[in-house]
Amino acid sequence: MTTRTIGDRRVGAIGLGAMPMSVAGHMPDEEQSIRTIHAALDAGITLIDTADAYTPSHEDVGHNERLVARALSLWGGNTAAVLVATKGGHTRTPGGWDVDGSPAYLRAACDRSLKALGVDSIGLYQHHRPDPKVPYEETIGALKELHDAGKIQFAGISNADPGQIRLAHDILGERLVSVQNEYSPRFRSSEPEIDVCAELGLAFLPWSPLGGIGRTGELRERNSAFIEIADAHGVTPQQVCLAWELARSPVVIPIPGASRPETIVDSAAAASLELSAEELARLG
């Protein structure tokens, strides 16, 4: 697979979003999830995105992290080449979701993620979602502390606007390597954040790059050009979508979610799909 850069690491141009394997009501059994992760690794994917909050229940925080760790432990390839990215600061409650960007919480969450992943240092640790109750610079300062303590190798932020990206970059410097925001054909409002990342040399990791769980079929309904171009290349509209995102900027590394081996293998193939300027113009 072709590669792109996160910090000083080269990773496959397509990553794996592991969240669908831990969503209540949709999650497959553990055996299928492990086969899915192994299929991704075998296809050349070397970036796996998870989070402590990816869990079917607030009583099982870290479920997805433990699943990723188990799959890696059972894989016969070179796990040292795999960058595992996790997140903290988006919390699970009996009623759903909340946020906690306090430094004390992030320190505790990072320690919990270290244990769940079974590592001494997390490859890429991302602040999951801004907390309006906590000054952003305090939250980002906690990431700096975690990096300087050796608990994380790289820092990232998620769901951040351009001003927050610049503030985090001012505080973290080269420690900050990535921004993870939603971006897809149906959600294009992160265009300014992509441009800031390109300016600052940060990787941009689109979450829900195919539209979100259960919504990938909308590519067919919303834009016939995806279907027509896919048919012309003999590929799926999902591959065209990911290739369109890769063409947006060399800093973009999509992380499509998957819970079946065949799905992520199809997505991985998008790394080698080249679209013409005319095709990209048709896709908008």
Q: Give the DSSP letter string of 122-186.
A: EEEEEE-S--TTS-HHHHHHHHHHHHHTTSEEEEEEES--HHHHHHHHHHHGGGEEEEE-B-BTT
**Cα 284 to Cα 282: distance, rounded to the nearest angstrom:** 5
The candidate with the shortest Cα–Cα distance to 253, out of 14, 45, 11, is 14
- In this predicted structure, what is the pLDDT of residue 96? 86
CB neighbour class for 152 (10 Å; exposed up to 12, middle 13-18, buried from 19): buried
Q: How many CB atoms lie within 10 A of CB 149?
A: 11
**Cα 200 to Cα 177: distance, rounded to the nearest angstrom:** 9
- In this predicted structure, what is the pLDDT of residue 220? 61
- In this predicted structure, what is the pLDDT of residue 65? 98
Residue by residue, pLDDT tens for the chain (284 residues) are 999 999 999 999 999 999 999 998 888 999 999 999 999 999 999 999 999 999 999 989 999 999 999 999 999 999 999 999 999 999 998 888 999 999 999 999 999 999 999 999 999 999 999 999 999 999 999 999 999 999 999 999 999 999 999 999 999 999 999 999 999 999 999 999 999 999 999 999 999 999 865 555 566 666 789 999 999 999 999 999 999 999 999 999 999 999 999 999 999 999 999 999 999 999 98
- In this predicted structure, what is the pLDDT of residue 26? 83
Active site residues: 54
